[in-house]
Structure 1
Amino acid sequence: MSTTDAVELLPGLSYRSTLPPDGKVHYRLRLDGTTTLYASATAVPPAGRDAPVTDGVKVSLRNSDGRSCDVDTASFGAGGSPHPVTAWAVREISPRNSPCDDAGTYYLTVERADPDGRNSSPDAWETELTTVSEPAPGTTGATSAPEDWNSGPPTPATGEPERRAGGAGFAVATAVGEGVWRDDIRPGQTLFYKVPVDWGQQLHVTAELGGAGMNAGGYAAAALDLDLYNPARGRVDDLGLGYGGGRKSRSLGPLPPVAHANRYSSARQVTATRFAGSYYLAAHLTAEVADDFGDGPVPLTLRVGLDGTPQDGPGYAGQPVPADVFTVTGEDREAAAEGGSAGDGTPYRVLAVGGIGTGSALLVGLGVWTLAARRRALP
């Protein structure tokens, strides 16, 4: 598929499509010269297959002259366990002269990260695309990242865990707030949560796998993969956790308070905390856990902390699209307290990508994506 056949994407909408095992899929965006655009692609490989650790999804954004604005790759990681992975590309209005500042047509390209890798899936993958636009701040603000935030190791949240079943995708992520949250996760399964984080607040997350009376003779070196995404579905940070059948925990690295000026940092974990809104946690238990410990569920605990008093945002000169994407509302806080897991109301469009078919709709919010079989097929 060439850029001539690119399907147009509109900011603020989400789309469902498919990604072929080889080749690139192109999408077209018409952008003005004042707003920043964030585009993400979430790929969902078929369940029940091994995957190269280097495979996943790659996205890139270019202007009409073919000059690169941004590129990002998300892979399955050390566990080699296929699961939903998300990459994003940013067209950012820069204070420096940039070829991506001009109004005009831009092209988003989505492809497999390693289509030629050993054991790469030969099937088309489900994909979910989102686009978010951010206007410039209403007044001239800071042009460098804050340096005086508390970067010390956070103290994990304490207290009795509360049962809170995870959602099956971004659109149906279960809302949680400050506290200790508990669910069971099976090998090959991915659970999604969202945490409302306001301007000026600092998020802390610790993940813990518990024992479930299983054989403790084995060990999965890359058992749990926990990814943190910002409101535009850009990856902020991640952690990996080994598992030997007993309790094990690990925390995400220290994150700064959410601030518009964080975008000027050179550190990915800082620049990605550039706006308020719902931050997403995607917890994946690698399929190889089943090899040593069986297909039964493993206790998962998330300890979520929020420091800092909510502050005013940058005072945008226009309206973000969607309008509430960088806002924490009373409804968001209520859902976090009560555990709301309904869809986010985002309208979806199913795209017919040239030569691939009609684009199969993902099941509710990326589907109930669970592994149907063991990671390795029996001989």
Structure 2
Amino acid sequence: MRARHNRSWTVADGSRATAGSRSRAAARSRTRAAGRRIGAVAGVLCALLVSPGPAHAAGQPQPYRYPGGVQDVAGAAKNTDGPVLKPDTAYRSVIKPQGKLYFQVVLDGTSDAYVSAVAVPGPPGAKLAYGDSIKVSLQNADGDTCDSQRRSIGSAQYPHPIAAYAYRALRRSLSTCQEPGTYYMVVERESDAASTPGDWSLELRYSTEPTTKTAGPSTAPSGWPSASPAAPTGAPQRRHGGSGFNDATALSEGQWRDSIRPGETLFFSVPLDWGQQLFATAGLDSIATAKDGYVGSALSLQLYNPGRGLVSGASAPYDGKQKEAALEPLAPVAYENRYAPADQVSAMRFSGPYYLEVSLSPEVGQTFGDTPYDVTLGLTVRGQAKSGPAYAGRAPDFGAPAPSADDSAMKLLAAVAIGTGTVLVAGLGVWTLVARRRAAAPAPQGFGPPAAW
């Protein structure tokens, strides 16, 4: 601040002040202003540390999260017009009611291949029926179906993401879909006449898995443990789920708690290595005040493998009292599971992140109140990690999720905390320096700040 070049001035009480007293007053004012600025910065940063995330602050369910760099693509009505998809690349598309879309993939003769589609029904509040579904098929040039999977909305008849996958397996016992060349990914949507006729968004992905260097067992393991373990003990830790496969929050064994709004879907991932077995439950807490009502399929728990193929699912009703949905005991992760006739066992064929999708029916909000509800995940992982197959190439990652929302938040929290400490320390240092210079400086002889400045 520059000092005005007048030797005295009138203060509020009408007395006269000298230039020296004016300079000292100005220095005190600058010190107080610096303190206020430091306090304001600290207050803002502290507010950032304790403020809730934007999604929950807004009080609305989060929309489905697509990965960064996703490419928009339009499917074709004819196979030869379908766009060519590249491996390990995320694509976004749309499909209309009763729609049928073709996409092309070029496969070699040395790798298994997987194509997946995540359907995101909409808009929020749309009316859906049990049979509303998505089907993914992989076909060869002769129109033979290598594999297909259909996923329906099921009893949870409200908008929530559903995913399906299909694959081409290279096996000596098979006579079709073994040669290299152009194959066709076909995505079909079936819609009930009474359902809301809006477009559904799609996330598409194509990945490959190399064959093994040597031939191994060609039958699925049997005799794995099927008795559910005791529930994990200890106080649940809070982690907020992601809004899609791409930002799923990573969890380990234990109890985890989150809040979920009616109509919302949360995603979590659990890393499983070869030989490990997962047991999972999702429990909905009771409400504080008793209220009559009943929702048949209130809480939905679905498990997907790293290729985004459905493994298993469970649901639970809700009447205001605590309820739990539990997955049936699953086979340990094994490469040979792919030879099992049961889809639930065959899907446990990869090591990597397995995805838990938790959805809460909007009817819960209509019946018991449109507020967040606490949900607790209980996870138990049995078995020591084993060595996996000797792949003839790079092991697949199927587009493993980026750091979860909570992981990113913690990194930001740490950065802000470090920044807060740095600013406070620096600010206090400046404040102390100002005070020391004030004390050490001689009385001013002229105008303006002391010469030491």
TM interval, shorter chain, is 0.7 to 0.9
Q: Which residue of 2 aligns with 1:10?
A: 86
Q: Select which of 359, 362, 385 maps to 1:284.
A: 359
Residue 342 of structure 2 corresponds to residue 267 of structure 1: yes
Q: Which residue of 2 aligns with 1:179?
A: 254
Q: Select which of 141, 146, 155 maps to 2:216.
A: 141
Q: Which residue of 1 aligns with 2:138?
A: 61
2:243 and 2:318 map into 1 onto residues whose CA distance is 23
Aligned 1:234-273 pairs, distance under 5 A: 234-273=309-348
CA RMSD of superposed structures (Å): 2.0
1:151-194 Cα offsets, whole Å, 9 max, x none, are 12232222211000010000000111111000111111000000
1:297-356 Cα offsets, whole Å, 9 max, x none, are 11110001111111111010112344886xxxxx99xx79x95368xxxxxxxxxxxxxx
**Unaligned stretches of 5+ in structure 1?**
326-330, 343-379
Question: The residue matched to 1:340 in structure 2 has which SS?
Answer: helix
**1:218 Cα deviation from its structure 2 partner:** 0.5
Distance 1:40 1:298, change over 3 A: same
Q: Which residue of 2 aligns with 1:38?
A: 114
1:198-220 Cα offsets, whole Å, 9 max, x none, are 11111110110101325431011
Residue 205 of structure 2 corresponds to residue 130 of structure 1: yes
Q: Percent identity?
A: 45
Residue 193 of structure 2 corresponds to residue 118 of structure 1: yes
1:254 and 1:218 map into 2 onto residues whose CA distance is 31
2:193 and 2:262 map into 1 onto residues whose CA distance is 22
Residue 151 of structure 2 corresponds to residue 84 of structure 1: no
Question: The residue matched to 1:129 in structure 2 has which SS?
Answer: strand
**1:58 Cα deviation from its structure 2 partner:** 1.2
Distance 1:323 1:185, change over 3 A: closer
Tell me, yes or no, if the aligned pair for 1:156 and 1:303 is still in contact at 8 Å: yes
Q: Which residue of 2 aligns with 1:223?
A: 298
Q: Which residue of 2 aligns with 1:164?
A: 239
Residue 75 of structure 2 corresponds to residue 19 of structure 1: no
Q: Looking at CA atoms only, which structure, 1 or 2, has the larger radius of gyration?
A: 2
Tell me, yes or no, if the aligned pair for 1:207 and 1:300 is still in contact at 8 Å: yes
Distance 1:322 1:249, change over 3 A: closer
1:350-371 Cα offsets, whole Å, 9 max, x none, are xxxxxxxxxxxxxxxxxxxxxx
Tell me, yes or no, if the aligned pair for 1:81 and 1:288 is still in contact at 8 Å: no
Q: Amino acid of the residue matched to residue 254 of structure 2?
A: G
**1:109 Cα deviation from its structure 2 partner:** 0.8
**1:59 Cα deviation from its structure 2 partner:** 1.1
1:324 and 1:75 map into 2 onto residues whose CA distance is 24
1:233 and 1:214 map into 2 onto residues whose CA distance is 39
2:160 and 2:112 map into 1 onto residues whose CA distance is 29
1:54-90 Cα offsets, whole Å, 9 max, x none, are 1021111110110111111111111311211111111
Distance 1:339 1:198, change over 3 A: farther
**1:101 Cα deviation from its structure 2 partner:** 1.1
Q: Which moved more, 1:208-217 or 1:165-174?
A: 208-217
Tell me, yes or no, if the aligned pair for 1:212 and 1:299 is still in contact at 8 Å: no
2:213 and 2:136 map into 1 onto residues whose CA distance is 30
Aligned length: 332
Q: Which residue of 1 aligns with 2:425?
A: none
Q: Which moved more, 1:216-225 or 1:163-172?
A: 216-225
1:219-253 Cα offsets, whole Å, 9 max, x none, are 11101111100111111100011111111113211
Tell me, yes or no, if the aligned pair for 1:137 and 1:315 is still in contact at 8 Å: yes
Question: The residue matched to 1:269 in structure 2 has which SS?
Answer: helix
Tell me, yes or no, if the aligned pair for 1:154 and 1:254 is still in contact at 8 Å: no
Aligned 1:277-356 pairs, distance under 5 A: 277-322=352-397, 340=407
Residue 184 of structure 2 corresponds to residue 107 of structure 1: yes
2:370 and 2:188 map into 1 onto residues whose CA distance is 32
1:293 and 1:322 map into 2 onto residues whose CA distance is 41
After superposing on structure 2, the runs of 4+ consecutive aligned residues of structure 1 that deviate more than 2 Å are 118-121, 153-156, 320-325, 338-342
Q: Select which of 152, 163, 180 maps to 2:227.
A: 152
Q: Amino acid of the residue matched to residue 263 of structure 1?
A: R
Residue 283 of structure 2 corresponds to residue 205 of structure 1: no
TM score, norm. by length of structure 2: 0.70
Question: The residue matched to 1:288 in structure 2 has which SS?
Answer: helix
Distance 1:185 1:214, change over 3 A: farther
Q: Select which of 129, 151, 155 maps to 1:74.
A: 151
1:79 and 1:257 map into 2 onto residues whose CA distance is 28
Distance 1:265 1:341, change over 3 A: farther
TM score, norm. by length of structure 1: 0.83
Tell me, yes or no, if the aligned pair for 1:156 and 1:205 is still in contact at 8 Å: no
Q: Amino acid of the residue matched to residue 367 of structure 2?
A: D
Question: The residue matched to 1:304 in structure 2 has which SS?
Answer: strand
**1:17 Cα deviation from its structure 2 partner:** 1.1
Richer in strand (by share)? 1
Tell me, yes or no, if the aligned pair for 1:174 and 1:341 is still in contact at 8 Å: no
Tell me, yes or no, if the aligned pair for 2:112 and 2:211 is still in contact at 8 Å: yes
2:206 and 2:184 map into 1 onto residues whose CA distance is 13
**Larger RCO: Structure 1 or Structure 2 (Cα < 8 Å, ≥ 6 residues apart)?**
1
